[in-house]
Amino acid sequence: MTVGRNDPMDDRRRFERVNMPDAAKVYITDEQNARIGSVKVLGRGGMLVKTEKPLMQGSHRALYLVDDSEGIRRELHAIVRYNSEEGTGLEFENLEPDAAVEVGVIIGKYYAAGAHQ
């Protein structure tokens, strides 16, 4: 299958993404509040997370995005797209409006600090 100009798969890389500084305390947890890893890159379509151990590619996960400095703890649903040395790539599934707003708050905070790609 060829990805064309109007194909949604082509648009996923057009989403603004921000590199999270090492000092950022943005991370994900599971439903039991166990820390899974630190968010390294965050965008409207998903995130790159530095995990202790790889997550199963293709699995659907219920996760919580946490930014203690903003008081954010938001449930997200994501698909594990890949694992690499840099981390685990997660694509958001059906991002709820409240979750989208909070993801945007975090992106805006670090975008303003010059961490955008």
* pLDDT computed for residue 16 by the predictor: 74
Phi-psi region at 75: left, alpha or beta (left = phi > 0; alpha = psi -120 to 50): beta
pLDDT at 107 over 80: yes
46: left (phi over 0), alpha (psi -120 to 50) or beta: left
What's the whole-number average pLDDT of the chain? 86
| Lowest mean pLDDT segment, chosen from 13-17, 59-63, 67-71 | 13-17
Q: Assign domain 24-112 one CATH number from 2.40.10.220, 3.10.450.50, 3.30.70.141, 3.40.50.720.
A: 2.40.10.220
Output the pLDDT for position 14: 57
pLDDT tens for 19-51 read 998 888 999 999 999 999 999 999 999 999 999
Identify the sign of the CA torsion 78, 43, 50, 82.
positive
Residues 6+ away with beta carbon under 8 Å from 42: 17, 18, 20, 26, 48, 103, 106, 107, 110
Share of the chain above pLDDT 90, in %: 68
Judge whether 21 and 113 are in contact, CB under 8 Å. Answer: yes
Enumerate residues 6+ apart whose C-beta is below 8 A from 53. Answer: none
Domain boundaries, the chain: 24-112
CB burial class (10 A; 0-12, 13-18, 19+) of residue 67? buried
The amino acid at residue 64 is Y
pLDDT score recorded for residue 2: 41
pLDDT of residue 99: 94
